[in-house]
Amino acid sequence: MIVDQHRERFVLIALAGLFLLAGLWAGLVRLGWTLPVLNDQFPFVHGPVMVVGFLGTLISLERAVALGRVWPYGIPILTALSTVSVLIGFFVELSTLFAVLASLLTAAVFVVLYRQYPSEHFIVMGISALAWFMGNVLWFMGVPIFKLVPWWVAFLVLMIAGERLELSRVRRPSAKVRAIFHISLGIVIMGIIYSLLDFYFGLRIAGAGLLAIALWLVRYDLAWQSVRQSGLPRFMAVCLIAGYFWLAAGGLLWMLFAQFFSAGPRYDVMLHAIFLGFVFSMIFAHAPIILPTITGMALPFQNLFYLHAGLLHGSLLLRVAGDLGLWLSLKRWGGMLNVLSVLLFLISNVRAAQIGLRSRPSKVCLKG
């Protein structure tokens, strides 16, 4: 059965947006801002709400649309159920079970895609889904969040790297170049697996892999060609390149400060260099293409997009400086501006969608 309706997708996108706002709210509370909370556990669900609720719903919805079948839409429904459960504090085991099932179905999506269109990038994305599955299994087992975060990071980084590998085929990379890519991914996977035995040493290995992936993307990605163009291609390229440098910084920080990967300012910078600097740069870059694919609405490029992108990176630099310099107020204000950059991103995209609707040619009905 083929799905060709947008109404249901709007509901799921709206839920992803609500989860994003809830995750940002919880993040501000964690930073020390005095804000009302749903319950005592609300500040501690920031990570699961962002990864499972927002990113998991958005990524799985995109893949469901691409596959064009009904059953993959069960994935964003499961991530939504998981997130609602964790937000209201209703049976943690149930919310984590929903997340496990969602990630398992995500892996099944890439099995189907590979069988239809055998390609190495679908293998990479399938492995990323398995990393998400493993992280969610650890969550279900009650493992502390900081110990499963590397699996969630691998899920997002490998998913994005797989998408960029797909696009890199235009340049026809040599077997040697592709081998370097796969070795880099292998180092990440080896590191997070080894972290089950020796957590901090495994993180250092994974960090080296993240750094290697970032350097590969900086060297071989198509962004350097697109940045010479204008309009949307240049904006996307700027966001991509900035994100690759943040990924490199994150990998290097994992190698240097792995022993602090549990709490505190260095933990904060090791996470957000990747989750904000890399992942949200990718979201900012691809939103003008992905959102129209999902919603069917045009999202014309606006120079205003540079405002939220610039604010994201500028505010993240402030946050990093506050973390590394142990300057709490700078970290808190950097985090507040991080949130503002994401809110501006949402506002800019809504505004662009309204412009796109107004620019549609009106349908004239002629009666004869």
pLDDT tens digits, one per residue of 34-72: 898 888 888 889 999 999 999 999 999 988 888 888 899
Question: Per the domain annotation, does 233 fall within a domain?
Answer: no
Instruction: Answer whether 248's CB lies under 8 Å from 215's CB.
Output: yes
- Side-chain half-sphere CA neighbours of 46 within 13 A: 17
Question: Per the domain annotation, does 88 fall within a domain?
Answer: yes
Question: Per the domain annotation, does 38 fall within a domain?
Answer: yes
Question: Per the domain annotation, does 302 fall within a domain?
Answer: no
Residues in the chain: 368
Question: Per the domain annotation, does 325 fall within a domain?
Answer: no
Separation between Cα atoms, residue 133 and residue 199, nearest integer Å? 19
Structural domains in the chain (count): 1
Q: How confident is the model at residue 353 (pLDDT cuts 50, 70, 90)?
A: confident
**CA-based Rg of the chain, rounded to a whole angstrom?**
20
Instruction: Answer whether 274's CB lies under 8 Å from 248's CB.
Output: no
Question: Per the domain annotation, does 93 fall within a domain?
Answer: yes
Mean of per-residue pLDDT scores for the chain: 90
pLDDT at residue 315 in the model: 97
pLDDT tens digits for 213-226?
A: 999 999 998 888 88
Question: Per the domain annotation, does 167 fall within a domain?
Answer: no
Alpha-helical runs (H) found in 49-144:
57-67, 74-88, 92-116, 120-140
pLDDT at residue 247 in the model: 98
Q: 86 is in which domain, residue-wise?
A: 1-117
The separation between CA 103 and the C-alpha centre of its own chain, rounded to angstroms, equals: 14
159 backbone dihedrals φ, ψ, rounded to 5°: -65, -45
Residue of higher predicted confidence among 298 and 233: 233
Tokens read off for 218:
């900086």
pLDDT at residue 74 in the model: 93
User: Quick one: residue 172, left, alpha or beta (phi over 0 = left, psi -120 to 50 = alpha)?
Assistant: left
User: Residues with Cβ < 8 Å from 233, sequence gap 6 or more?
Assistant: 226, 227
Instruction: Answer whether 103's CB lies under 8 Å from 159's CB.
Output: no
> Does residue 367 surpass a pLDDT of 80?
no
* Least confident span in 145-154, 283-292, 305-314: 283-292
> Does residue 364 surpass a pLDDT of 70?
no
Using alpha carbons only, give the angle 22, 267, 104 rounded to the nearest 5 degrees: 60
Question: Per the domain annotation, does 57 fall within a domain?
Answer: yes
